[in-house]
Structure 1
Amino acid sequence: MSIDITGLPPERIVFDISPLAELGVALHALAEPGHHPGLHGWATATAAALKPDLADRLHEANFLWTTTFSDVHMPFAGVRGGDGRTGATLAEELDLLDALDEDRFLAAALEFTCSAHYAAGGPVRRERALELAASRGPRQLEFTRRLLADPAGVRAWLRRLFEDCDQAFFADTWRRVQPALAADARHKTELLRRKGLPEVLRAVSPAVSLDEGEGGGVNGGGGAGVRRIVVDKLTDGRTTAAGTGVTFVPSSFGWPHLWVLHAPGWRPVVHYPVGAPELAGPASVELLHLRMEALAHPMRMRMCRALARAAYTNSELAELYGITPPEVSRHLAVLKKAQLVTVRRRGRYVLHQLDVAAVARIGSDFLETVLR
């Protein structure tokens, strides 16, 4: 994932905090506690305290922060003619969400149906969005129909949902994490000023670096004088910060995720975690061997990126990665033998999803095995 910053003045690279982005990550951790083993206590207590009506509404739209991390959580990056700065409060950022034009709001809200075409930009293909939503399930299909028929009504519904989350639990959560996030943003800003971009990128994450254009750059696209921020992820994407700048947003709830907003025409955003808890979990040597062999294949690793975020059918994976359905079946068979993929049926669709907890244990399993 690369962000072209050629010729970008240093002052256009900013570190800022975003309450709406952090609410989105908190909702993700609430819906997918297996992604965030260090937050099990918070997730359990928060879920138990939710009123039934709010819990039902969160379930109704949870694919906006589970299947994908929708760009509706970072509207500051998409308001046409805006300054690209985050809001000081959740209310201010919800005002920015209201300020998104309809095309951008629809595209952001429908990422869960068309993430494979995210980098293409352009208007939403309504028939295709409905078709893909149908394969996700009746809840997603109904939401998509509502959204396409009444985008303004869904936007207002979503704002009320976020406001109710703020009243129920997020206001207290934000008061607790905001000081540390603000301190991190100030520290990174000062580090950028004193030591420069390469040093601050290393401080953001070992997966983020600066490509100065030597040796061909990202995917062979580098060249003399070209500068790119490169994020090492199991996906390909390019964008440019020319004319917009780039924003780095720290997250307390984000680990292990490192998100990059790279939608065409939006301000690029790197949403990075602060802190990383340790994992543990034993497994047999034989099972560990099967799992590491299964993940050693580049295509299976790429498939795992999609399967970690949502359940997919065989045909969806074939379309997403440009391979044949029989090839997908062979790769899935290897992952299932290694007990890394779960399977369930929804009507005529057979859905596959990564067992995130099993994958999370591999690193500690390997270390325990070699030190045993």
Structure 2
Amino acid sequence: MSVRIDIAGLPPERIVFEPSPLAELGLALHALAEPGHHPGLHGWATATSASLKPDLADRLCEADFLWRTTFSDVFMPFAGLRGHHGRPAATLAEELDVLDRLDDERFVNAALEFTCNQTYDQGRPSPLTDPAVAAESLELAATRGPRQTDFTRRLLADPAAVRAWVRRLIEDCEEAFFADTWRRVQGQLAADARHKTELLRRKGLAEALTAVSPALSVDEDRRYVFLDKLAQGSTTAVDPAVGTGLVLVPSHFGWPHLLALHAPGWRPVIQYPVATGELPAPASVELLESRLEALAHPVRLRLCRNIARSPYTTGELAHALGISAPEVSRHLSVLKKAGLVSTRRRGRYVLHQLDVTVVARLGVDILEGILR
């Protein structure tokens, strides 16, 4: 499974790395709403939450579905504005001005992503003009709770009022905490964008994408960029009706998320966490699936119980489990292919041992893969 971005024929200068204050605020709000996703940000999240005035905290709670369970494209309006250069602005105020220039239909669809995520990359009629889609949006919002229902009803009835409310909320967040936060992280994000731009210029797209994340890749013909995610979707960076270009946005608050804007009619955007020495390389979805499948078999679990304690030969395992040596070899082969077992030779014996470090990290890898 992956998200695929068509870049066939895209000029290199149309692939850009740039920070976005509004996109960064979206992830900062997510970190406040879901601190469990971001263990490295607990201190910041606790201090920031404690400093919020009750009125602002209540308003953030009212709208947190825009960033808690999904990442609304309203935080990347530069990608959805026709006739725009398709790149982030330097300041939050400028990006909010771009957000104001989105037409109501585009804003409403982006704000209602929490009710239509199953059709995200396929598009759907506007709920402002299609009564059936409006009814479906309200019905789906009702399954998620009264706040979502009320927000959806107000948005469909008076988009202009909700847009003004959202802008005031974001401006109040900037005043309360984000202006200071952005001053602290902006230099780091700009430096990362410059480094990746230079890497793209000197060593090419494949090298630059690998530096962004091991979960990003490009095919040999440089036709597609792939994001290794549990999500599945596709989009294009070369649609002349939308505007060509691919923007990669670094984020201080992003890990473990690797976000892809791939809505129809929008330029694609990838928002990625800026790497630090503390962040492990993400395991691929394919590798996670192979490890879970390897451990799902009861015989292989019994094998793991033995070889977790000390190295065993194939013959010893066959005797311990009461099965044939060839059967043990077949199960060990599956475990080795999944990277769970190592082997070493001692004289004429071949010893097998469980890699307990890999197994201990498996739960974290699964969580990161799901959240990516």
Same-fold call, TM cutoff 0.5: yes
Larger Rg: 2
The C-alpha deviation readout for 1:164-212, integer Å capped at 9, x for no partner, is: 0000000000000000000000111111111110100000100000013
Q: Matches of 1:176 and 1:275 in 2, distance apart?
A: 16
Residue of structure 1 equivalent to 2:152: 144
Identity among equivalent positions (%) equals 71
The residue correspondences of 1:172-187 to structure 2 (distance < 5 A) are: 172-187=180-195
RMSD: 2.2
Displacement after TM superposition at 1:97 (Å): 0.6
Q: What is the letter of the counterpart of residue 7 of structure 1?
A: G
Residue of structure 2 equivalent to 1:227: 223
Q: Matches of 1:108 and 1:167 in 2, distance apart?
A: 25
Residue of structure 2 equivalent to 1:262: 262
Residue of structure 2 equivalent to 1:78: 80
Q: What is the letter of the counterpart of residue 38 of structure 1?
A: G
Displacement after TM superposition at 1:154 (Å): 0.4
Question: Would the alpha carbon gap of residues 296 and 6 (structure 1) be closer, same or farther in structure 2, given more than 3 Å must change?
Answer: farther
Question: Would the alpha carbon gap of residues 183 and 140 (structure 1) be closer, same or farther in structure 2, given more than 3 Å must change?
Answer: same
SS of corresponding position for 2:85:
coil
The residue correspondences of 1:6-45 to structure 2 (distance < 5 A) are: 6-45=8-47
Q: What is the letter of the counterpart of residue 263 of structure 2?
A: A
Displacement after TM superposition at 1:122 (Å): 3.2
Residue of structure 2 equivalent to 1:353: none
Q: Matches of 2:125 and 2:257 in 1, distance apart?
A: 28
Displacement after TM superposition at 1:275 (Å): 2.7
User: Is 1:103–1:123's contact at 8 Å kept on the other side of the alignment?
Assistant: no
**TM-score if structure 1 supplies the norm length?**
0.72
Displacement after TM superposition at 1:152 (Å): 0.8
Q: What is the letter of the counterpart of residue 362 of structure 1?
A: G
SS of corresponding position for 1:121:
coil
The residue correspondences of 1:65-104 to structure 2 (distance < 5 A) are: 65-104=67-106
Match of 1:188 among 177, 196, 206: 196
SS of corresponding position for 1:8:
coil
SS of corresponding position for 2:116:
helix
Q: Matches of 1:190 and 1:73 in 2, distance apart?
A: 26
Displacement after TM superposition at 1:19 (Å): 0.1
Aligned residue pairs, count = 281
Question: Would the alpha carbon gap of residues 13 and 137 (structure 1) be closer, same or farther in structure 2, given more than 3 Å must change?
Answer: same
Q: Matches of 1:235 and 1:209 in 2, distance apart?
A: 16
Q: What is the letter of the counterpart of residue 363 of structure 2?
A: I
Displacement after TM superposition at 1:364 (Å): 8.4
Unaligned 5+ segments in structure 1 are: 214-225, 280-290, 298-358, 366-372
Moved over 3 A (4+): 276-279, 291-297
User: Is 1:260–1:270's contact at 8 Å kept on the other side of the alignment?
Assistant: yes
Is 1:130 the equivalent of 2:131? Answer: no
User: Is 1:111–1:118's contact at 8 Å kept on the other side of the alignment?
Assistant: yes
The residue correspondences of 1:200-239 to structure 2 (distance < 5 A) are: 200-212=208-220, 227-239=223-235
Q: What is the letter of the counterpart of residue 252 of structure 1?
A: H
Displacement after TM superposition at 1:232 (Å): 0.3
Residue of structure 1 equivalent to 2:116: 114
The C-alpha deviation readout for 1:137-181, integer Å capped at 9, x for no partner, is: 111100000000011110110000000000000000000000000
SS of corresponding position for 1:229:
strand
Displacement after TM superposition at 1:123 (Å): 2.3
Residue of structure 2 equivalent to 1:250: 250
Question: Would the alpha carbon gap of residues 360 and 64 (structure 1) be closer, same or farther in structure 2, given more than 3 Å must change?
Answer: farther
Q: Matches of 2:84 and 2:365 in 1, distance apart?
A: 45
Match of 1:47 among 35, 46, 49: 49
Q: What is the letter of the counterpart of residue 253 of structure 1?
A: F
Is 1:198 the equivalent of 2:199? Answer: no
SS of corresponding position for 1:119:
coil
Residue of structure 1 equivalent to 2:288: none
